[in-house]
Structures are given as structure tokens and as C-alpha cells.
Structure 1
Amino acid sequence: MAYGPLMAKAMSSAHDRPMLALGLRLVATVLFSVMLLLVKLTGERNIALPETLFFRQALPALSIFGWLAARGQIGRLRTQRPWIHARRALIGGTGMFLTLGVVRLLPLAEATILGFTTPIFAVILSALFLKEKVGPWRWTAVIMGLLGVVVIAGPDTTSLPPFGVAVGIGAAFMVALVTIQVRDLGRTEEPITVVFYFSAFSAPVLALGLIGQDLGHDAVGWAMLAGIGISGLFAQIAMTASLRFGSVSSVIVVDYIQLAWATFWGWLIFNRLPPATTWLGAPIIIGASLLIAWREHLLARARERAPLAA
């Protein structure tokens, strides 16, 4: 779930439907929170992360193909951009490995908050690689966000290990790249096509991670793995569709609802509420990303008015 200056390089969608985009994004946040909860629970049951990743990708690919085949609509998977899908799968697969991995290393709330640093990395990437001029407002937001990460990490590394924080930041970085790919593909491909190729390209590679793994799970374990695949499938379709029908800046606020869900699951399932450092750092990170989104909105409006003025 990324947003920021890199997104300004993409053309706006010709199918903007803001309310539909907001609704889809809300559904995606709920489903993603359920998926991450199940990932953490499978970790508690000592189910290996590579196996979790495989089922996360294999089940959506098989489900989509089977559903389209039953309806005689396999043609909907036809694409003129296979290499773009492959590149998206490579970047997205790496991001997914980090995103699911951090959930096993950190509490749900803290792992979710670190994901909100995505726009901060979008600003840095745009300055380094796109040579975009970044003004004082966005650099201030970058500093704010990094300060928020420091506050959340806190002095006590026993409750929030540095390695887990590093994985969470890496996941946010990769998500910044993934969203650019999704927005670009969404202009020419259906959401279901984007999701299918992401899963279909990455599942065979992830299958290598099953070698040597103990696959003897009970019914609950298999149900959790199935739930990860199903919730991930519909969450990804909803997120991809939200970017097809609306700009990232129009759905940004909805993303933060995922923090409420993560906190709720952490309290209900694991009897854990975030410590004071998390409550202090979270508003700083969220405020920084909202500041970036506000500046992006103003810059986008200025670009739209420029041709009219000319």
C-alpha cells in the first residue's frame, strides 16, 4: 500500500470512481489484516514461512484459473505485457516475503505501522533515481517519519528486535516499488489478470521452498493455510481494483484503518496492546505520510492547471 512522489509519474486513470475506490480499499485493509493474523498464527504452530508463502500464491492462481475456466473466460487472462507481469512478480514476491516475515518477527501493530513508512521511501527514491525536485515540506515529512521509526524502536530491543524493524522497513521499501507496477498495469489489465500473473509467476519459484519441509499438518493448520491464500486473493483483487478506479491520494486515509485491526487482533488473540513508544511513534509516521500525500495532491492540481493556464 504505497503512495508518494513516484506515483506522480503515472498517468491518472481514465476510470476514476472515488467512492468505489474507497470501498474496495476498505475491504482490502480488512482482508489484509486477517491474512497477516493467520500468517502470525501459522508461525505460532511452527509452519515454515516458505510453505506459507507458497500457499499464499498457489491458491489464488489455481482459484482464478479454475473460476475463469468454468465460465469459459480464459481469454480474460490474455496479456500483451508478460515481461511487465514477470517484473511485478519479482518485486512483489520479494516484498511479500518481507511483509509476511516481519509479522512473525514483530507484534501485529508494530509490523503494520512500519508499513506506513512506504511514502517516505517513495520520496527518497524519487529524489535519487528520478531526479525529482523535493521541496522542504516533503523532506520534513521524511525526517518526521524516520524519527517516528526511531521512537517506535525505542531503547528496549528485547520487545522490538532491530532485525525485525529492518525487515519491516525493507518491506515498506519494496511495497513502494510494487504499487507503481500495479498502477501501471491497472491501466491496461483487469485486476484479476494482474493478481493471476503475480501468483502464477511466483508460485513455482516458491515451491522450491517446500523441499525438506514437514507438510504433516492437522486440519486447523491446513485451514489456516487455505485462509491465507483466500484472504490474500480477495485482498489483492480489492487493492488492485482500488488503484484502477481511484488515485492513491484519494484512498490513503483508508489504509490507516489497518492499524486499528492489527491492534484489535493483537489484543483479542495475543492479549497484547502496543507499548507507549508505539502510541508515540505511530502518529508521527502517519502524520508524515499524510503530509506527503497533501503535498502530492497540491502538486498534482498544479500540474493539471498548468496546461489550462498556457
Structure 2
Amino acid sequence: MTALARPHRPLFAIALRLTAVICLSVMFITVRLASERGVHVVESLFYRQALALPVVALWLMSAGGLATVHTKRIGVHASRMAIGLTGMCLNFLSYILLPPAEAATIGFTMPIFGTILSAVILREATGWHRWGAVALGFVGVLVMIRPDAGHFPIHGVAVAIAGALVTASVSLVLRELGRTEPAGVVVFWFTTLSMIPLGLAMPFVAKNHDLMTWGLLLMIGLFGGIAQLCLTAALRWGPVSVVLPMDYSAIIWTTLLGVAIGENWPLATTWIGAALIVASGLYIAWREHLRARRPVVSSAVPPRG
């Protein structure tokens, strides 16, 4: 019997996750605005990570100091960095190439690709329920982009789908790292190691910017860092099944922010496709929740935190 159990505060966890989603929406819109002012995507990535480092460092200091980031799995962390940085780059580009609402909606296909990768790579049993949800999600993508209508640049759609696929791949690496590494260690090494390739690339793309553009770059790093901490903290106070639905509110925030910066209101097909994709993702999450509960045979198990 444990002396102390982590408190279960679902409303606080939901608030943290919602804060993270709003911050991410602001970050992605800011990346789009920065690109319109001549900022290269590598610059946005560099400042996103560099300005998040102090936030991560403060977090680590409050949780036991830098000694807690010691790891014997630096190779796995390097792989996570390479895949994660590629996914972040593709996601940034998707918001540059597509209207914000459509970029956010395609990003919601990540759980769909996660299901496929888990079945193909990890050989996890995947029943017809989840395969049906995968099919529904892809129908939603087709309804939204309507390839025959030419509403959106096909290369932008391809980048957004690739971003969702790579981000889903990150979840497989994180699952492996999570067996031995706390969340703070994973975040620290991802942020720190990513500065190596980004720092090497910066001399080839860096430019002088005006004060407004520097302010946008500061916002990218600030809101990205806050989102990263809130995403992690939310899972300390509530299970994934409780906080995950908040992620889908991004379609609301990105749409409103997009309209605020002069983007058109999304087409009706975007909303229909988004509904199908969100339904697919939520159903996959629900099936995962049911699978996770099956081994539990005692009602005395403490709440998940």
C-alpha cells in the first residue's frame, strides 16, 4: 500500500490541456505571420526551441535540478529528436502552406496513423472497431480537401499529412522512452539536442528582422514553451482519456485566430470533414481507454494520475 497517492484533479487537468491547445494555436498562427514577414521555417524552429530552453530549465530546477536529466539512452533520445524535429518542421510548414483551420484538421489524423503504425510496427492487435475508425478518418480527409475541387494546394495537403504521420511515429519512440525516462528528461533532451542541427543550419537562413518580426519569434518560443509544460502537467492530474478531447478544440481556436488575421471562414466541407476526423480520433481514444482497463480486476486500484 502506498503512503501517498497523486491527487486526481480532472478539471485542473482539462484546464491545463486547454491552455496548452490555445498556446499551440497561437504559436502556429504566429509561425504563419512570421513566414509572411520573410522568416525561414528553420528560423522559427530555432527560436521555438532556443526560447523554450529557459522554461524547460526552470521546470527542471523546480523538480530536482539538472542532475535529474542523466540518461543512459542518449541514442534513443537522438532518434526521438530527429523524428520529432522533422515532424515539427512539417507541422510548421503545413500552417504556412494551408489555411489554419485545414492545417489543424489534418493534424487531427495523428491518432489514425498511430493506430496503423502500432498495428504494422508493434504488431498490436487491432480489431474492426479501430480499423473502422481509421477508415472514417480518411473519409473525413477526402471530404475536407475534395481533391477534384482544387480548393487547397496539393503539396500543402501532402505536407500536413506527412506531419501527422511523423508525429504519430514520435509516439512510438516516446512509448519506448517512457519505460525508463521521466517526461522532464525526454523534454530536456529533445529541446537540447535539437539545437545542434538547427544551430548548424541557422547561418544559411538567418536574417536581420524588424522589431515586429522579433516579437513574433519571441511569441513562437514563449507560447511553444508554455504549451509544452502544460501538455506534460495535464497528464499529472488527469488520465489521457479525460484530457485528450481538449486537443480537438484547436479547430475552434485556429479558425478564430485565422479569421482575425484575415483568413477566410472555412468551407462547409472543412467542418464536415473535421467532424468525421474528430469522431474517428475520439473513438480510437475510447477504444484505447477500454483496452487499458481490461487487465484491471480490483476496484481498489488508485486513480490514474
TM-score normalised by length of structure 2:
0.86
Which residue number in structure 1 is paired with residue 303 of structure 2? none
Are the counterparts in 1 of residues 43 and 206 from structure 2 also a CA contact under 8 Å? no
Paired residue secondary structure (2:205): coil
Q: Of the candidates 261, 272, 283, which is equivalent to residue 269 of structure 1?
A: 261
Structure 1 vs Structure 2 CA RMSD: 2.8
Which residue number in structure 2 is paired with residue 242 of structure 1? 234
Which residue number in structure 2 is paired with residue 173 of structure 1? 165
| Per-residue deviation, residues 227-286 of structure 1 (Å, max 9, x unmatched) | 111111111121123334443322221111111100100111124210121011110111
Q: Of the candidates 276, 294, 300, which is equivalent to residue 284 of structure 1?
A: 276
Corresponding position: 1:61 with 2:53: yes
Q: What is the one-letter code of the residue matched to 1:154?
A: R
Are the counterparts in 2 of residues 195 and 237 from structure 1 also a CA contact under 8 Å? no
Residue 189 (structure 1) shift: 4.8
Matches within 5 A, 1:190-209: 191-209=183-201
Residue 79 (structure 1) shift: 3.4
Identical amino acids, percent of aligned pairs: 43
Which residue number in structure 1 is paired with residue 96 of structure 2? 104
Are the counterparts in 1 of residues 77 and 190 from structure 2 also a CA contact under 8 Å? yes
Distance 1:29 1:67, change over 3 A: closer
Residue 220 (structure 1) shift: 0.7
Distance 1:293 1:213 in 2: 40
Distance 1:63 1:240, change over 3 A: closer
Matches within 5 A, 1:129-208: 129-155=121-147, 158-182=150-174, 185=177, 189=181, 191-208=183-200
Paired residue secondary structure (1:47): coil
Are the counterparts in 2 of residues 182 and 240 from structure 1 also a CA contact under 8 Å? no
Q: 100-109 or 20-29, which moves further after superposition?
A: 20-29
Residue 67 (structure 1) shift: 7.8
Distance 1:124 1:42, change over 3 A: same
Distance 2:121 2:63 in 1: 44
Are the counterparts in 2 of residues 186 and 243 from structure 1 also a CA contact under 8 Å? no
Distance 1:33 1:216 in 2: 26
Q: 16-25 or 53-62, which moves further after superposition?
A: 16-25
Are the counterparts in 2 of residues 127 and 133 from structure 1 also a CA contact under 8 Å? yes
Distance 1:183 1:240, change over 3 A: farther
TM-score normalised by length of structure 1:
0.85
Which residue number in structure 2 is paired with residue 231 of structure 1? 223
Which residue number in structure 1 is paired with residue 40 of structure 2? 48
Residue 201 (structure 1) shift: 0.1
- Structure 1: gaps of 5 or more residues: 1-12
Residue 112 (structure 1) shift: 0.4
Distance 2:66 2:224 in 1: 21
Distance 2:292 2:54 in 1: 40
- Structure 2: gaps of 5 or more residues: 301-305
Paired residue secondary structure (1:304): coil
Paired residue secondary structure (2:295): helix
